[in-house]
Structure 1
Amino acid sequence: MEYGAVLAAAPLVARPNWLLLSPPPLAPSIQIQNRLYSISSFPLKAGPVRACRALASNYTRQTSETVDLDWENLGFGIVQTDYMYIAKCGTDGNFSEGEMVPFGPIALSPSSGVLNYGQGLFEGLKAYKKTDGSILLFRPEENAERMRTGAERMCMPAPSVEQFIDAVKQTVLANKRWIPPTGKGSLYIRPLLMGSGAVLGLAPAPEYTFIIFVSPVGNYFKEGLAPINLIVEDKFHRATPGGTGGVKTIGNYASVLMAQKIAKEKGYSDVLYLDAVHKKYLEEVSSCNVFVVKDNVISTPAIKGTILPGITRKSIIDVALSKGFQVEERLVSVDELLDADEVFCTGTAVVVSPVGSITYQGKRVEYGHQGVGVVSQQLYTSLTSLQMGQTEDWMGWTVQLN
């Protein structure tokens, strides 16, 4: 199948002309398959793990450095890029050496573990372009470790930390022309781990596939850094004790769609969930962690199995401590939320998003006259300037690719 046909099979509401073009060639050392990718086309028995070394010299492009996009109005949505990474794991638990294939549809058995029983995980991280043209990743080893933790909970093998990081590097460099210019956004990186093998009875899949694709993105919320408006949900719950709320499994996100849909129809940006037992302690927003500020003390719900251990959450805590703030990880009640001086959310997609108002049981509380709070602004500036290489990385968190 020609690459143009592969793209035509993927749904897009509107397809700019540049999406109909074939991707630029990689260096000869990178083998590309111009066909519909079938999961079963790999040998069932995976070979030993061999790290995919993503040296910049292997990715000399024969095209312009940057795609011509409207970077000012990018938004947060899927843009089809050039290549994706795929590796496969058989029954021996070892992942094959991955390869780059053109971005496009994949073939899955209708009885695959991920489709029938939700045996899948994903991660999210970003690449940034510095003013000198070099590329930075932010804490990719944390995503690799979190995927391994989640895979253990979901009875799945996972790529090693080394293979995960090398695969991320390889995918970013293969798609580097899609990285937005400095200050215009980032390249969102989506690693996926799924049970691709066929099963009928309830059991772990016999084989697994690890995929990474990327998309240039702007702000997650349309408000950007402007404050968002949340509603506290006291009917639906995101997670329960003993469940999978603490890992990034795909089912955690489908379960919040109904509450999120209802909230957005009422004009709210997103939903803030309470614990399922007492129904009075904060957990998290649909796809990000939450912090409250009172008298310059920053508090956030403790990680106890029902809340995702966010990497941005962890980073914000460290940045806040380095700036002399007192940070508490503990149970935070909804009453404390309503009495807070500031509230903000953190996540890979949103980075830091200030909250302008909270509505709970019909009562609306506003923060900072709908402006960005002082603490939120300070932490946002400190973290984003570090992520984008605008200040010295005193934490040692960034990885430079070229």
Structure 2
Amino acid sequence: MEPSDHINRPATLDIPTPLTDEQRGINPDRRATNRILNDSERMIHEYDPATDTTTNRFESFPALGTNERGGIMARIAKAVLGTDPRKIETFSMDTLPIFRQLAPELFARGWVPTIRKDAFDRFGTPIYPWNTIGESEPVNEEGRFIALVRMPRNMHAAGFRKPMDPQEMVDAAEADALGFGPFYSRTSHLVIATCDTADSDPATGEKIEKPNGDWDGEVVVPNMDYACNPLEQIKQYGTGLFEGIGVEMNDDGEVTVFRLKEHWNRMSQGGEWLGMPKIPYALFEKMVMETIQANWAYIPPAGKGRLYVRPDWFDHGPQLKVGNSGRFTLLMCAIPIGSAESYFTRGRKKFFMAKGRARVAEGGNAGKLKADGHYSGTIDLIGKAGKKGMAGVIFTNSAGDRIEETNASSVIFIKRSPDGKHRIITPSLAHGTLLNSITRRTILDLAREKGWTVEERDISPNELASMTKEGDMEAVAVGTAAAIAPIHEIQVGSVDPETNEIHEDGELIKISHEGEDCRGPVSMEIFQAIMAVKSGKAQKEMRARLKATTNPTGIANLERQLSEQESWLTIVPPPDKEVL
């Protein structure tokens, strides 16, 4: 990525002539521990167990020749000036005099130094990105180096994270042990962009508004921690949203993203509600593609899991008074996760229904936001329900007469019919308290195509209990992470408003028979249909049927369905082989 446009770049970079050892005053015979290493030395620590002493000695290795020095300087100059066709974003250097002389120029042009000392390779961290700038210069055996990372404006690297070996992920996927959690979040790259909607007048300190926003990035960087201000706005007032985007590899080796534009649209609409700038779709799409490509080695094998892309859009600037700081970050990472059964506990699933407890504030249409703060209020109840052997929590409205959604997914109830014309019942979005789930929407679209009855309406706990007693019922929790998880039992209860303790003082709604711990037949049909669409298998079969169909009406219907379902998929091209 070229250095950001806000940096003034001259046409040439003034590269100083390297000083000789004599000019730098280095005596090769010096053995002082505080000496400065020259270009051709490394320090060796020798420990004598007999005397319990350590001696430092210096060992020479081939010095950089004139051509090598020139090559290093030329690469740095191209990177800093943005003229290298390989779009260099990061590179590593030893603490050589070359770097010390060029440091002011580098820092002035948006490069960030991060000093590290690790052991997993000779640089302490891989050279990033994949399109490295050629053979890097030698590094002393101490492993001390400076990694230069071109960060977006107002973002600062705090330290790299060591990526896990991709084989570790593959082994876990084959053992069906990936799950859904942070253990496998140690992928290799992040993608970051920033947007400023305000700046400070250097003379007065007054805030200067930038209505259209000033974007910097996207930049592909190593997996790292970033430095934040103690008064970072997201920590003070919670201006932040996130998405969860599923990435599948199919049997043909294709990698697909599902309904990407709808994820962008939901995040963009949520941002507008929070006073954040609009994210250009082209930028969002490019960042998702680059996040996947940069972490390509961590995509689970077909049928063994998914890559979960997590975009975070938040206010990262300092802000003491209620309001936005005007400094926003869009950050994307990727995590390999397990199969569709990995989010909730395996086996028979019992949920606690917190009757009278709303997930979000009512009356403000806030439910449509996938906002960070909307989930923190569910954490304590999830933990307490989990200790009682329950998989999750279903929330209602505050009056307790309307079922809404779980702590992490939408809910759908299914009334089976012997003639195959099943009824799909799901809580209505009309009250503004539910997230407009993309998985939920897809299931309703597919159900309508099958000719099933779809009812988006209010449903009370009492009505659900009555319908269940009639038999032929199924219930599922649906979402990108949860996929389509069966709900076998629902324990209706209450939550103490003072202690937040949960009480199982309501009816136990048994949706499926004892001993059943899988999806019901209709749930399984829906699950298979949505997984086929996500992987592109359904579209492939539809194209084959289209070729074999001669009926004009049948052709028109197939063409309509195929056009719609193909629009849901984005094919991710593999990274350039030269880049890898």
2:509 aligns to what? 365
CA distance in 1, matches of 2:390, 2:246: 26
Separation in structure 2 between the aligned mates of residue 23 and residue 282 of structure 1, nearest angstrom? 52
Partner Cα separation in structure 2 for residue 94 and residue 38 of structure 1: 11
Shift of 1:35: 5.6
Cα pair distance change 1:37/1:263, threshold 3 Å: farther
Q: Measure the CA separation in 1 of the matches of 2:460 and 2:290.
A: 44
1:332 & 1:23 partners in 2: Cα distance?
Answer: 56
**Once the 2 structures are TM-superposed, how far is the Cα of residue 65 of structure 1 from its aligned partner?**
9.6
Residue 474 of structure 2 is aligned to residue 342 of structure 1: yes
Structure 2 spans left out of the alignment, 5+ residues: 1-113, 134-146, 157-164, 198-209, 417-421, 494-505, 541-561, 574-580
- Displacement of 1:388: 2.1
Q: Distance in 1 between matches of 2:528 and 2:348?
A: 15
- Look up the match of 1:233: 354
1:29-74, Cα deviation, whole Å (9 max, x unpaired): 9xxx6569687248xxxxxxxxxxxxxxxxxxxx989964321211
Q: Which amino acid aligns with 2:323?
A: A
Indicate if the aligned counterparts of 2:195 and 2:327 stay in contact, CA closer than 8 A.
yes
Q: Which residue in 2 is equivalent to 1:245?
A: 367
* Structure 2 residue 256 is the aligned partner of structure 1 residue 136: yes
Corresponding position of 1:81: 187
The Cα of 1:358 is off from its aligned counterpart by 0.8
User: Equivalents in 1 of 2:195, 2:524: separation in Å?
Assistant: 44
1:308 paired with 2:435, answer yes
Q: Once the two structures are superposed, what CA deviation does each residue of 1:143-189 show, in whole Å capped at 9, x if it has no partner?
A: 00000110011111131122111110111011011000000000000
Instruction: Number of aligned residue pairs: give it.
Output: 367
In the TM superposition, 1:146-225 aligns within 5 A as 146-218=266-338, 219-224=341-346
Larger Rg: 2
- The one of 398, 402, 406 aligned to 1:285: 406
Residue 356 (structure 1) aligns with = 488
Q: Give the residue type in structure 2 aligned to 1:399.
A: T
* Counterpart code for 2:433: T
2:299, 2:306 within 8 Å by CA — same for their partners in 1? yes
C-alpha change, 1:227 and 1:158, in structure 2 (3 Å) is farther
Q: Residue 110 in 1 paired to residue 254 in 2?
A: no
Q: Give SS of 1:131's match.
A: coil
The match for 1:322 is 449
The residue type equivalent to 1:365 in the other structure is I
Report the equivalent of 2:555.
none
Q: Does 1:69 align with 2:171?
A: yes
User: CA 1:41 to 1:252, structure 2 compared with 1: closer, same or farther past 3 Å?
Assistant: closer
- Deviations along 1:96-132, one digit per CA (max 9) or x if unpaired, are 2310011111111111210100011001111111222
User: Contact conserved, 2:315 with 2:325, CA < 8 A, in 1?
Assistant: yes
Pair 1:261–1:41, CA change in 2 (3 A)? closer
| Structure 2 residue 460 is the aligned partner of structure 1 residue 333 | yes
Note closer, same or farther for the CA distance 1:65–1:270 as it changes in structure 2 (3 Å cut): closer
Q: Which amino acid aligns with 1:76?
A: F
CA separation of 1:382 and 1:90: change in aligned 2, threshold 3 A: same
On the 8 A contact 1:37/1:105 being kept in 2, the answer is: no
Match of 1:390 among 530, 537, 540: 537
Shift >6 Å, 4+ stretches: 36-39, 63-66
Does the 8 A contact of 1:81 with 1:215 survive in 2?
yes
**Is this contact kept in 1: 2:248–2:306, CA < 8 A?**
yes
Structure 2 residue matching 1:81: 3-state secondary structure: coil
Change (3 A) 1:153 1:368: same
Q: Decide whether the 8 Å contact of 1:38 with 1:108 is kept in 2.
A: no
Distance 1:64 1:122 in 2: 26
Structure 1: distance between partners of 2:249 and 2:193 = 27
Tell me by how many angstroms 1:133 deviates.
2.0
Kept in 1, the 8 Å contact 2:395–2:406? The answer is yes
TM-score with structure 2 length normalisation? 0.59
- In 2, are the aligned partners of 1:112 and 1:197 still within 8 Å (CA)? yes
Q: CA deviation at 1:264?
A: 0.7
The 3-state SS of whatever aligns with 1:105 is strand
Q: Give RMSD over aligned pairs.
A: 2.7
Aligned position for 2:154? 40
Q: Structure 1: how far apart are the matches of 2:324 and 2:166? A: 45
- Which residue in the other structure is 2:424 paired with? 298
Alpha-carbon separation, structure 1, partners of 2:451 and 2:311: 35
Structure 2: which amino acid aligns with 1:387?
K
Over 3 Å counting, the alpha-carbon distance change for 1:314 and 1:243 in structure 2 is closer
Distance 1:24 1:35 in 2: 9
Letter in 1 for 2:479: G
Distance 1:323 1:269 in 2: 30
Q: Report the Cα offset of residue 284 of structure 1.
A: 0.3
Distance in 2, Cα, partners of 1:209 & 1:141: 19
- 1:303-357 CA distances to partner (integer Å, 9 max, x unpaired)? 1311000000111100111111110111111122222311111101011111111
8 Å CA contact retained: 2:491, 2:509 = yes
- Equivalent-residue separation in structure 2 for 1:199 and 1:64 (angstroms): 40
Call closer, same or farther: CA 1:190–1:275 in 2, change over 3 Å.
same
Point out the more displaced range, 384-393 or 280-289. 384-393
Amino acid at match of 1:322: E
- The whole-number CA distance in structure 2 between the counterparts of 1:64 and 1:309 is 34
Seen in structure 2, the aligned counterparts of structure 1 residues 382 and 40 have a Cα distance that, compared at 3 Å, is: same
Residue 401 of structure 1: aligned partner: 572
SS of the residue 1:316 aligns to = helix
Question: Greater relative contact order (Cα 8 A, min sep 6): structure 1 or 2?
Answer: 1
- Per the alignment, residue 57 of structure 1 pairs with none
Measured in 2, the distance between the counterparts of 1:64 and 1:254 equals 32
Tell me which residue corresponds to 1:256. 378
The counterpart of 2:130, out of the listed 26, 30, 43, is 26
Is contact 2:409–2:477 with CA below 8 Å preserved after alignment?
yes
CA contact (8 A) 1:195 1:209 kept: yes
Quick one: structure 1 residues 3 and 38, their matched pair in 2 at CA, closer, same or farther if it must change by over 3 Å?
farther
**Farther off after superposition, 68-77 or 310-319:** 68-77
Look up the SS of the partner of 1:313 in the other structure: helix
- Aligned partners of 2:356 and 2:400 also within 8 Å: no
Q: Closer, same or farther in 2 for the Cα pair 1:376/1:105, shift >3 Å?
A: same
